[in-house]
Amino acid sequence: MAEFLYLLRPHLTLSRWRGRKSTALGGGQWRQTSWVRKYRWRMANGRAALLTAKARKECLLPTGLSENSQNRSDPVFCMMRGTTTVTKESEKRVRKQKKGAAVPPQQSHSSVHFDIHDHRILDADGCLVGRLPECAKQPDQLIALYRIMVKTRLFDEKAIALQRRGQLGTYASSLGQEAIGAAIGTVMADDDVLFPAYREYAAQFLRGVTMADILLYWGGNEQGMNFKGQRHDFPICVPIAGQAPHAVGTAYAMKLCDEKRVAVCVIGDGGTSKGDFCEAINAAGTWALPIVFIVNNNGWAISMPRKRQTGAETLAQKAIAAGFPGEQVDGNDVIALTDRIDQALHKARMGIGPTLIEALTYRLCDHTTADDASRYRSGQEVKEQWHYEPIKRLRTYLNEIDCWSESDEQELLASCHDEVEQAVSCYLNTPPQPPESMFDYLYQSLPAALEEQRASVVQWSKGNE
Ligand SMILES: Cc1ncc(C[n+]2csc(CCOP(=O)(O)OP(=O)(O)O)c2C)c(N)n1
Ligand SMILES: [Mg+2]
């Protein structure tokens, strides 16, 4: 066995790693400080932890965040700063308390310390503040990320227009959050399994789901989730956090079958308050499953702001409680996201276990087309957040390195426009499903009570023909 097992003794400290580099790129000099904020564990009661050499190496990977270029007025960045220290009682003491035995005064203070790392490579002004990762080093790779984000945004605009014209049901927009789906879809392997929530269109498009599929779904046609071009990903999940236990079950099966596949579960900030999510991360950590959780922290759960969701300083730290690493990434920086998700997938595939990535972004749209966000948040807040949106910053960078021109932009817009229009006509020309089809995709065999209801719907629709 090539891997060498490390025994982490109590009080072992993995201390800060620092490195400085300078290089030239795109004609301009940039300097970078790659660093990992201290990562320190003191473990209680002499309990040892076994980590593979690879896992240990992963812990020390540089993050590519520049201290110099951090813009402290950037609200996303300010949200990202977080160092938390947790103290826990020794298990022995708690056990004694439970049994009702006399509790001796606490003699030793056992503690776990952790820091949540934050990652950014491309800042809001389109400047590189970190090293370009392998998965986004070539201009072609960056252009592909740009293309899918633009395509998703144009699709989104069209879907909202269709809903406003009464041609689509309620629709959940991904405006401002396109980078998350783009990054996920770019680095997942074909046979990995995606468990989306309902704003990951970019990832779904990259994985073979069509725009017409998505329109059919929001148009009330369940065939829209019967993806012809992607048979093994899970459908959109509107019941909040419902996808998390499914993802864990799938990851467990992958592990049992010794497959080198990974489950990717995307969930909103509000979703992390749900029991399903807490149970899922607990199981994932306990069994060291091949799974990556990506939290789309867009600041809001409908009208509930992130700060009223949880007392935790970051959502990433929820992973620490479940026994695996959690980190924050600028969710509007598609390059940093692509890199961090790629590394998390790699770790999961190597059998090192789960990772939670909290992607810090902002919901520039209403919650859905059924919502009016101006009733609970200020226009000024939204206006400020437009400065940080993901598409403009990548375009600025591509322009800067002479890899994108105005004619490229016009060509892209025209081809996306054609693609969207084709999808719309395919959707509008698809005959609606019969009303009783609503019973047909939930159970393998319909329970008797529902058989009755189905029969009465068939009767009713015949009468309305
Ligand atoms: C189990 C469940 N409870 C409540 C809802 C109603 N609901 C729909 S979206 C939403 C908020 C979700 O917020 P978040 O997880 O942050 O996702 P976002 O919409 O911001 O992407 C709620 C409570 C639901 N769909 N499912
Ligand atoms: Mg949210």
- Taking alpha carbons only, the member of 365, 409, 370 closest to residue 389 is 365
Task: Look at residue 208 and tell me whether its pLDDT is greater than 80.
Answer: yes
Counting Cα atoms < 13 Å in the Cβ hemisphere of 392 gives 9
What is d(CA 142, CA 319) in angstroms, rounded to the nearest whole number? Answer: 30
Q: What is the pLDDT of residues 355-401, one digit of tens each?
A: 999 999 999 999 999 999 999 999 999 999 999 999 999 999 999 99
Q: Which residues are known to be catalytic?
A: 363, 367, 376
Residue nearest to atom 19 of ligand 1 (CA): 301
Q: Can you give the pLDDT at residue 110?
A: 65
What is d(CA 114, CA 43) in angstroms, rounded to the nearest whole number? Answer: 11
Asked if residues 331 and 180 have their Cβ atoms less than 8 Å apart, the reply is yes
And the tokens for 13?
């400290």
Task: Look at residue 217 and tell me whether its pLDDT is greater than 60.
Answer: yes
Any atom of ligand 1 within 6 Å of the Cβ of 239: yes
Any atom of ligand 1 within 6 Å of the Cβ of 370: no
* Helical axes 390-400 vs 334-349, angle rounded to 10°: 100
**Average pLDDT over the chain, rounded to whole?**
82
Asked if residues 269 and 315 have their Cβ atoms less than 8 Å apart, the reply is yes
Q: Can you give the pLDDT at residue 107?
A: 55
Q: How many A from CA of 184 to the centre of ligand 2?
A: 18
Residue nearest to atom 4 of ligand 1 (CA): 240
Q: How many A from CA of 228 to the centre of ligand 2?
A: 29
Confidence of residue 132 (pLDDT cuts 50, 70, 90): very high
What is d(CA 134, CA 154) in angstroms, rounded to the nearest whole number? Answer: 28
In the chain the domains, ranked by start, together with CATH numbers, are 5-115 (no CATH), 118-428 (3.40.50.970)
This prediction's pTM: 0.80
Alpha carbon distances (Å) from 130 to 22, 332, 387, 404: 10, 15, 20, 21
What is d(CA 43, CA 294) in angstroms, rounded to the nearest whole number? Answer: 27
Ligand 1 atom with least separation from CA of 274: 1
Ligand 1 atom with least separation from CA of 197: 21
Higher pLDDT, 404 or 13: 404
Flag the least confident range among 96-105, 259-268, 373-382. 96-105
Contacts of 269 (CB under 8 A, 6+ apart): 295, 296, 297, 298, 299, 300, 301, 306, 309, 315
Confidence of residue 462 (pLDDT cuts 50, 70, 90): confident
Any atom of ligand 1 within 6 Å of the Cβ of 48: no
Block residue for tokens 């396109």: 178
Q: Report every protein residue that has its C-beta within 5 angstroms of ion ligand 2.
A: 268-269, 298, 301
